[in-house]
Amino acid sequence: MSIRLNACGISVHMERALILRELTLSVFQGEFVGLIGPNGSGKSTLLRTLAGFLKPSAGEVLLDGEDMAAISRKALARKLAFVPQDLTVDFDFTVREVVGMGRHPYISRFAGENGRDREVIEKAMRETGTLHLSDRSMPSLSGGQRQMAFIAKALAQEPEVLLLDEPISALDIAHQLRVLSVIRKLCDQGLTAIAALHDLNLASRYCDRLVLIREGEVLARGSAEEVMTESCIREAYGVEAVVATDPSTGKPSVTALQEAAG
């Protein structure tokens, strides 16, 4: 299995504050990696750096062994898609128009969509359950519907690597399961995905590996069984928790009890 995305000792400073500290992360083709950790731990900054939006102050990010800084934006958009946490829309686009923007890396400046583009767009909307919203304006949607539309836009890019910052935070449980199931299925077909997730139990269920981040550093990484331990939860989140095996999934399940003493 080849390494698809590689962060090599990256540090990121923002407004003189050190957000990421010499962080190293390798993600393989076909993996679904979940980034977990408390608010402010650096998960969003890591994703934005992996997406090429932030330049590390030290270290480098490699995509298929190539320095991401040397890849053109259009070429990068054909390989990597990013779904941010902030999904505000300033213009009155329809859902179909927004999802269609995912095809821009493949369409020349003066050409329109072809049959292949329309097929990909419809498939992305069908997979995310947004096809019935096609003609709705983005400002008229709920936060959850808007999030699903942007995930569909990312899928329409047909990326090899998909980065998602809290992709299920605004969704009800049915849509959370839909999104994670779609990502899981695509990873089984060869997509590489990295998502920041707050729901530890869903991260445990769907992800191949978890990376627990605290104060800009990796506290633990590995399988859910290796990362979701009571001691790791206490150290990262400052809470006492019980970790048990969910009989329905066979995966670790966390029940937070109270803030840790001291």
**Which pLDDT belongs to residue 1?**
66
Superfamily the domain 1-79+159-223 falls into: P-loop containing nucleotide triphosphate hydrolases (3.40.50.300)
Distance CA 35, CA 213 (A): 7
Domain edges within the chain:
1-79+159-223, 91-158
Q: pLDDT confidence of 103, banded at 50, 70, 90? A: very high
**Which pLDDT belongs to residue 188?**
96
More confident residue, 110 or 20: 20
Task: Examine the pLDDT at 245 and tell me if it is beyond 70.
Answer: yes
Segment 195-204 shows an average pLDDT of 97
Segment 2-12 shows an average pLDDT of 94
**Which pLDDT belongs to residue 112?**
80
**Which pLDDT belongs to residue 89?**
73
Segment 5-13 shows an average pLDDT of 96
Task: Examine the pLDDT at 148 and tell me if it is beyond 80.
Answer: yes
**Which pLDDT belongs to residue 88?**
74
Task: Examine the pLDDT at 163 and tell me if it is beyond 80.
Answer: yes
**Which pLDDT belongs to residue 117?**
94
Phi, psi of 261 (to 5 degrees): -70, 145
The 3 state secondary structure assigned to the chain is CCEEEEEEEEEEEECCEEEEEEEEEEEECCCEEEEECCCCCCHHHHHHHHCCCCCCCEEEEEECCEEHHHCCHHHHHCCEEEECCCCCCCCCCEHHHHHHHHHHHHCCCCCCCCHHHHHHHHHHHHHHCCHHHCCCEHHHCCHHHHHHHHHHHHHHCCCCEEEEECCCCCCCHHHHHHHHHHHHHHHHCCCEEEEECCCHHHHHHHCCEEEEEECCEEEEEECHHHHCCHHHHHHHHCEEEEEEECCCCCCEEEEEEEECCC
**Which pLDDT belongs to residue 169?**
86
